[in-house]
Amino acid sequence: MSFSRETFATVTSATVTSLAPGILGVIGLTTTTTVALSVAGLVAAGALVSFGAYKGVEIARKQSEFQ
């Protein structure tokens, strides 16, 4: 069985710092969690939003022609 490791371009969207769990949190140590979104996902979401806006404008224009 073989596994391939692929690297994707990501964008950091949030970094959250909180107390570490257990005894480490009691003595004041913290842990940091980073949320990363893939660039491809952001591009796809932007394309869907843009297409939706385009179709909305197209429908609004057609409706205004009939009135």
User: Residue 20: exposed, middle, or buried by beta-carbon count in 10 A (0-12, 13-18, 19+)?
Assistant: middle
Farthest CA pair distance, the chain: 70
Closest CA to 36 of 17, 22, 15: 15
What sign has the CA pseudo-torsion 14, 17, 22, 24?
positive
**Integer Cα distance of 60 and 53 in angstroms:** 10
Low-confidence winner among 27-31, 42-46, 55-59, 63-67 (lowest mean pLDDT): 63-67
Residue 3 has pLDDT above 80, yes or no: no
Overall pTM surpassing 0.75 (yes/no)? no
Give per-residue pLDDT as tens, 4-53: 555 667 777 778 888 888 887 788 888 888 877 788 888 889 999 999 99
Domain ranges of the chain: 11-66
- Output phi, psi for 57, to 5 deg: -65, -40
